[in-house]
A = this chain, B = another copy of it.
């Protein structure tokens, strides 16, 4: 099988990730941060090491500012609902995933004012539009770092300058970019950075988290036992406990730590170059084919290795079905949980077929996929 659904979750995972999960369950399977016994302490150490690796990766300083969640969606809900109160204004884009769009829709009904800035048909957002949209009650700007539909990279650095100047909280959804693009919360002035562990960080599903800049006041989404200040019914103020109630996914976090060590040992630049080579090769091939419509920039310089297309007038799900059943190529059709993005690029009616690459894909995968697409197009009526 050729797996090209890496924007959903990377597969396969590095052997190191699998081994770390197994080792954690077998040898460090206690509950971290709750007991004083040896195995509980070693479990706590594993969780801390992953936190530290993430803090280094994002230039976040104090590891305690990284809190773990079950996925990026939970992290974004925590960020949005923790920051936005009735009467606040928030600016977002027309390329967002439902992980942002649906919580904002709920907040809107509770009295939060939402401005959705239109992006170009290739998914580009003009930072000037952000500047113009700022009002007196603008509390936050929230955008994804790169589109999960078109791969388009958003002007995060430029927006960060605007928000910092105007004293607005900047929330970034790095689901498609953490581990792939440079992410520096200091240089980019990012206040809240949501990430997932199971995509370009090569950890397992069930992991994700949020960087929370010191000084940002955030209401927890979930309260409960934290293993700290247990005598108090008040959720502790201490980081990261304030936002981590109940038993964490220790084996998952161990796997995420191994995933981060994997990308660092391979070299994030090298991984990016490899994926970009594949993307360029795929785009070149697609551009030479008839009856293929490519969405997004179609330019490796300004996008991540996520490419959406349609074939002729065909429904996207039919093409994905043929690729899967006939050619054993796994890709993703439909709306990719991002209806706003599909509306922006004009594919809300039939979705698109999405291909996304990981470090484990090869040029042969690209060529065989191009060949499969050519044969599919040729067979169509």
Residues of chain A having any CB pair with chain B under 8 Å:
1, 3, 5, 8-9, 11-13, 17-18, 21-22, 25-26, 29-31, 34-40, 69-74, 76-77, 97-99, 101-103, 105-106, 196, 198, 204-206, 208, 221-227, 230-235, 245-252, 317, 320-321, 323-324, 328, 330-339, 348
| Partner among B1, B74, B223, B250 whose Cβ is within 8 Å of the Cβ of A105 | B223
Task: Beyond the given A76-B224, A206-B247, please list 13 additional residue pairs across the A-B interface where CB-CB is below 8 A.
Answer: A35-B320, A35-B331, A37-B330, A40-B330, A69-B70, A70-B70, A71-B247, A98-B226, A98-B245, A99-B225, A101-B233, A103-B223, A227-B337
Q: Which 5 residue pairs of A and B lie closest in terms of their CB atoms, listed nearest first? A: A206-B249, A73-B246, A225-B337, A73-B224, A71-B246
Q: Chain A interface secondary structure, helix, strand, loop or mixed? A: loop
Docked-complex contact A324 and B36, CB < 8 angstroms: yes
Q: Give the chain B neighbours of A232 by CB distance below 8 A.
A: 339
Cross-chain contact A31 with B18 (CB below 8 angstroms): no
For the complex formed, measure the closest distance between the CB of A248 and the CB atoms of chain B, giving whole angstroms.
Answer: 7
Q: Is the CB of B36 within 8 A of A235?
A: no
Cβ of A4 to closest chain B Cβ, rounded Å: 9
List residues of chain B with CB within 8 A of the CB of A234: 102, 105
Cα A347 to Cα B13 in complex, Å, equals 47
**Closest-CB distance, A102 to chain B (whole angstroms):** 4
**Are the C-beta atoms of B72 and A230 separated by less than 8 Å?**
no
Contact B1 A39 (CB under 8 A): yes
The 8 Å CB contact of A102, one of B73, B105, B224, B317, is: B224
Name the CB-closest residue of B to A106.
B223
Task: Give the shortest distance, in Å, between A220 (CB) and chain B (any CB).
Answer: 8
- Asked whether B35 lies within 8 Å of A5 as measured between CB atoms, the reply is yes
Contacts of A73 in B (CB 8 A): 222, 224-225, 245-247
Cβ contacts A to B, 26 pairs, < 8 Å: A1-B38, A35-B331, A36-B320, A36-B321, A37-B332, A40-B330, A69-B70, A70-B246, A72-B246, A73-B247, A74-B222, A77-B223, A97-B224, A98-B230, A99-B245, A102-B223, A102-B233, A105-B223, A204-B249, A205-B249, A205-B251, A227-B337, A230-B337, A230-B338, A231-B348, A252-B252
